[in-house]
Structure 1
Amino acid sequence: MTISTLQKSINERLDEHYEEMVEIRRHLHKNPELSFQEEETAAFIASYYDTLQIPTRTKVGGHGVLAFIEGASPGPTIALRADFDALPIHDEKDVPYKSTKPGVMHACGHDGHTATLLVLAKVLHTHRDQLKGKIVLIHQHAEEYAPGGAKPMIEDGCLDGVDVIFGTHLWSSEPCGTILYKSGNFMAAADRFSIQVQGKGGHGAQPHLTKDAVLIGSQIVANLQQVVARKVNPIDSAVVSVGGFVAENAFNVIADSAVLTGTARSFEESARHIIEREIE
């Protein structure tokens, strides 16, 4: 079988299994799990491979799962990677496959990543007699919480012997059927930060006797916007975003503490260090 004929056969089989792919994705969407809590999802992935009699390795660096497809003849070892954790976001849409867990949702497409990789593995397994080399299917847990599951999985050997690795990411802002790609860096390094403001609380009618943590936190949020604008080389892409600002209190009480959480994204290591220094 030639490469073009094999590719056509694989594409046809993928089309045949499209409905199964949708079914898997919707099952995962209904049953999301947060980073480092993905026990049921990992078990679902391993069970799928067990049904196909594809060898697996579970609990890789935590909840990670590996599966292996051996080609009929020698060749390179190619890894294909998907993540499977969800985000702490409430699913507000009204569909049959809506998340059944309040405050937890697959809002970043990891359910789709997992569904496509599982079905692709199924199809590749049926064509293993025409494949060269070895395919490693990497299902990574805890992608959303940097450094997450990638580092412990690598330390646990998920990339041992791998010659090249490929991954895809759903991008809902683009039209269906569009594939985006480029040479060089595509996805930025993602860092997480948390800042705790400790002030002195008091009654809302006596602000002069307090050290208002909300006011201080608000000023920090505003000042953080100057880090990229005035400290990072304009040629280098970078962003600092505050995603959380929590200062729980009664409406008429000035908060004594507040917590800011956010993310810093960068492509250049030099910009990454500048951002860390300037935030501190």
Structure 2
Amino acid sequence: MINRFYEALSNKENKMIEIRRYLHAHPELSFEEEKTAQYISDFYKDKDVEIKTHIGGKGIYGIKVTIDSGKPGKTLALRADFDALPIKEDTGLAFTSKNEGVMHACGHDAHTAYLMVLAETLIEFKDHLQGKIIIIHQPAEEKPPGGAQALIKDGILDGVDNVIGVHVISNLESNRVYYREGNVQSGRNIFKLKIIGQGGHGSSPHLANDPIVAASSFVMSVQTIVSRKLNPFDMGVISIGSFDGKGQFNIIKNEVELEGDVRGMNEETMQLIEDEIKRISHGLETMYGVKCDLEYHRDYPVLYNDPTLTKQVANAIRTSNIKEINSVERTEPLPPSEDFAYYAKELPCTFFYVGASPKDKQTYPHHHPKFDIDESSLLIAAKSVAAATFDYLGVKS
């Protein structure tokens, strides 16, 4: 049965690619994915499954598909995200985005396409299964607070034992699957700092109090948190992504606003960085005589892969003899954050990676206007998750 299942997936590879290309051409931003959600739910309409839409409440387009074998067993959830990014596409692909300024620049179109076809095939073979499989089509992974929290609050994990997720990665070699146990992707916090001084004329700085000077000091000082406060063996990153100090060349502004991004690979690091940023902002008030208004928000947590489940999934894929996979490798931790981490705070979960570096052209990173993937990664993702699912549910033949 398993070999027939893999053959069925191979026969549907073009269908996966077709769905991926349609989604790529019709991207929608986080929390705005109404048409994408309709496209996905329509796909399941005539299939022998239970479909629930608008999981997550008003303005959230989560979809839950339940594949019930009718036999006792565990319940496994498989999750894929389907939102896009506010990026103007510059790939030149025949199926380039039709929505100006919106692009699938992270691979969520591929995630959705592989999972739709995998789910369809699991439905066709469900008499050979046991237990239940929950298909989670999740919106709004890219934009805080993320879609996962809303889906969880609305009960999408009720009765679920474990969750598996996959991400295609453009800078990892194709035809390979990558995994890691423990903390595998960084947590993320965000902050805004408004520094209020006293405006004035550039010719008379003594009659003003320049907030740009104080803000510049802040930018340099926070970098010492990583270099001088953090254990050298711990990962931490602080990036100032926005410095709104634009004004007239000869005018001292009354206030400036900074926005920043914080990453860390454990909660202790994230707490240390938060404490230090608050301390430095308070110090600016004394040192420069300005007023600091800091908004600091805890965002996506560190993604933790359950070691037992991760080992089980990796071994299942490794021993499945999937012809398209050259190797199954343990990867180093990945710096980006991922809201799959919220599922992992609720249940033992694992999140693994499928290499998708294009074979015939330059590779660009995720969130780049020229981002693209090797589309063979879709079939590999589908077969890998199928192997993990069969092993998890105890399907042997």
Return the TM-score normalized by structure 2: 0.64
Alpha-carbon separation, structure 2, partners of 1:179 and 1:257: 49
Alignment partner for residue 48 of structure 1, among 43, 68, 72?
Answer: 43
2:255 corresponds to 1:260: no
The residue number in structure 1 matching 2:324 is none
Alignment partner for residue 35 of structure 1, among 26, 30, 51?
Answer: 30
Letter in 1 for 2:65: A
Query: How big is the shift at 1:134?
Result: 0.3
2:22 corresponds to 1:21: no
Change (3 A) 1:258 1:52: farther
Alignment partner for residue 276 of structure 1, among 253, 274, 277?
Answer: 274
Alpha carbon RMSD of aligned pairs, Å? 2.2
Letter in 1 for 2:28: E
Deviates more, 1:158-167 or 1:99-108: 99-108
Alignment partner for residue 146 of structure 1, among 120, 134, 144?
Answer: 144
Counting only pairs closer than 5 Å after superposition, residues 112-261 of structure 1 correspond to structure 2 as 112-201=110-199, 210-250=208-248, 254-261=252-259
Change (3 A) 1:196 1:50: farther
Alpha-carbon separation, structure 2, partners of 1:19 and 1:246: 47
Give the SS at the match of 2:35.
helix
Are the equivalent residues in 2 in contact too, given 1:146–1:192 (CA < 8 A)?
no
What do the CA deviations read for 1:194-253 (whole angstroms, capped 9, x no partner)? 223334445666666554444443332222222222222222222222233334445665
Alpha-carbon separation, structure 1, partners of 2:50 and 2:11: 24
Query: How big is the shift at 1:176?
Result: 1.6
Query: How big is the shift at 1:11?
Result: 1.8
Alpha-carbon separation, structure 2, partners of 1:12 and 1:192: 46
Give the SS at the match of 1:170.
strand
Change (3 A) 1:275 1:130: same
Give the SS at the match of 2:123.
helix
* Percent of matched pairs sharing the same residue: 43
Query: How big is the shift at 1:155?
Result: 0.8
Letter in 2 for 1:108: C
Alpha-carbon separation, structure 1, partners of 2:91 and 2:28: 18
Change (3 A) 1:134 1:271: same
Alpha-carbon separation, structure 2, partners of 1:28 and 1:19: 14
Letter in 1 for 2:51: T
What do the CA deviations read for 1:100-124 (whole angstroms, capped 9, x no partner)? 2232222121111111111111111
Which runs of no fewer than 5 residues in structure 2 stay unpaired? 279-397
Counting only pairs closer than 5 Å after superposition, residues 56-67 of structure 1 correspond to structure 2 as 56-61=51-56, 62-67=60-65
The residue number in structure 1 matching 2:87 is 89
2:73 corresponds to 1:78: no
Are the equivalent residues in 2 in contact too, given 1:66–1:136 (CA < 8 A)?
yes
Query: How big is the shift at 1:52?
Result: 3.1
Deviates more, 1:12-21 or 1:208-217: 208-217
Alpha-carbon separation, structure 1, partners of 2:201 and 2:91: 40
Are the equivalent residues in 1 in contact too, given 2:48–2:123 (CA < 8 A)?
no
Letter in 2 for 1:226: T
Alpha-carbon separation, structure 2, partners of 1:16 and 1:46: 23
Are the equivalent residues in 1 in contact too, given 2:264–2:270 (CA < 8 A)?
yes
Alpha-carbon separation, structure 2, partners of 1:49 and 1:211: 62
What do the CA deviations read for 1:66-122 (whole angstroms, capped 9, x no partner)? 111112421110000111112222212222222222322221211111111111111
Change (3 A) 1:203 1:13: farther
Change (3 A) 1:117 1:216: farther
Letter in 2 for 1:90: K
Are the equivalent residues in 2 in contact too, given 1:89–1:107 (CA < 8 A)?
yes
Give the SS at the match of 1:186.
strand
Change (3 A) 1:15 1:198: farther
Alpha-carbon separation, structure 1, partners of 2:178 and 2:166: 10
Change (3 A) 1:158 1:202: same
Alpha-carbon separation, structure 1, partners of 2:18 and 2:205: 56
Change (3 A) 1:279 1:180: same
Return the structure number with greater relative CO, CA threshold 8 A, min gap 6: 2
Give the SS at the match of 1:12.
helix
Give the SS at the match of 1:169.
strand
Give the SS at the match of 2:232.
coil
How many residue pairs match? The answer is 275
